[in-house]
Amino acid sequence: MFVEVMKQGEVLAADRRKADVRRAREAGFTLLELLAVVVILGIIAAIAIPLIGGIIDSAKKDATRGVAISMYEAARLYIVSEKGGDFKNAVVTLEELQNKGYMQKDTRDGYGEPIEAENSKVEFDKDGNLSQVVIKSPKVDEKYTAEQIFSRQQTPGQQTQEPQPNP
């Protein structure tokens, strides 16, 4: 009986060793599997990186346009409060808006660069309607038309108030 128990123990030990060897062989990945994963990750990166770059650039342009909208709104307030509401042929520089407190002193474009206050301006035409908003900085030299200022792209469910043209 003792001999039988010993033989059973040896058989169990041998089975455990075989199982351990089998697990050790199956535990790792083959070189081909690893290579396939690296290739797939490379393809994903090649597709995603340009897309993300485009999204970031678009966001910076939209932020700069947002500054142009803010300049227009501030210029409207400035003209009504400081110049008696006469919008005809009015030109208001960012420098004027900053000096009178209608815009912050360190106004930056969507790229984080300081906007040239003396060269950036809001211009109105002979009828008192917005003609253009000019923004100049080290990375931006843009002229936004009235149409670009007044049009807003909305996502579904988003409610924003449109900038209002002059009365």
Grade residue 140 by pLDDT with cuts at 50, 70 and 90. Answer: very high
Residue 162 has φ and ψ, to the nearest 5°, of -70, 145
**pLDDT surpasses 60 at 125:** yes
Strand pairing partners for 108? 114
Between CA 42 and CA 47 the distance in angstroms is 9
Grade residue 9 by pLDDT with cuts at 50, 70 and 90. Answer: low
**pLDDT surpasses 80 at 37:** yes
pLDDT single digits (tens) 99-117:
999 999 999 999 999 999 9
So where are the chain's domains?
64-150
**pLDDT surpasses 70 at 31:** yes
Q: How many other C-beta atoms are found inside a 10 Å radius of the C-beta of residue 135?
A: 24
